Amino acid sequence: MDRRMAECRAILLFWRKIGFWKKSVMAKFGECARIADRRVGIADRRVGIADRRSGIADRRSGIADRGLGIADRRVGIADRRVGIADRRVGIADRRSRIADKRFGIAERRSRIADKRPGIADRTPKSQIEARKFRKIAGYFASLTSN
The model's confidence at residue 120, banded by pLDDT at 50, 70 and 90, is: low
Cβ–Cβ < 8 Å for 15, 26: yes
Number of structural domains found in the chain: 1
Instruction: Burial-class residue 84 by CB neighbours within 10 Å (0-12, 13-18, 19+).
Output: exposed
User: In terms of pLDDT, which residue wins out, 138 or 2?
Assistant: 138
> Is residue 73 one of the residues assigned to a domain?
yes
Per-residue model confidence (pLDDT) at position 78: 76
> Is residue 138 one of the residues assigned to a domain?
no
Q: Considering the chain, what percentage of its residues have pLDDT values greater than 90?
A: 0
Mean pLDDT over 6-34 rounds to: 64
Per-residue model confidence (pLDDT) at position 122: 62
The model's confidence at residue 25, banded by pLDDT at 50, 70 and 90, is: low
> Is residue 127 one of the residues assigned to a domain?
no
Q: Which range marks the domain in which residue 91 is found?
A: 2-121
> Is residue 60 one of the residues assigned to a domain?
yes
Residues 6+ apart with CB under 8 A from 27: 33, 34
Per-residue model confidence (pLDDT) at position 74: 73
The model's confidence at residue 46, banded by pLDDT at 50, 70 and 90, is: low
Cβ–Cβ < 8 Å for 34, 26: yes
Per-residue model confidence (pLDDT) at position 92: 78
Buried b (16+ CB within 10 A) or exposed e, 38-71: eebeeebeebeeebeeeeeeeeeeeeeeeeeeee
DSSP character for 21?
A: -
Q: Global pTM?
A: 0.21
Buried b (16+ CB within 10 A) or exposed e, 16-34: beeeeeeeeebeebeeebe
> Is residue 79 one of the residues assigned to a domain?
yes
> Is residue 100 one of the residues assigned to a domain?
yes
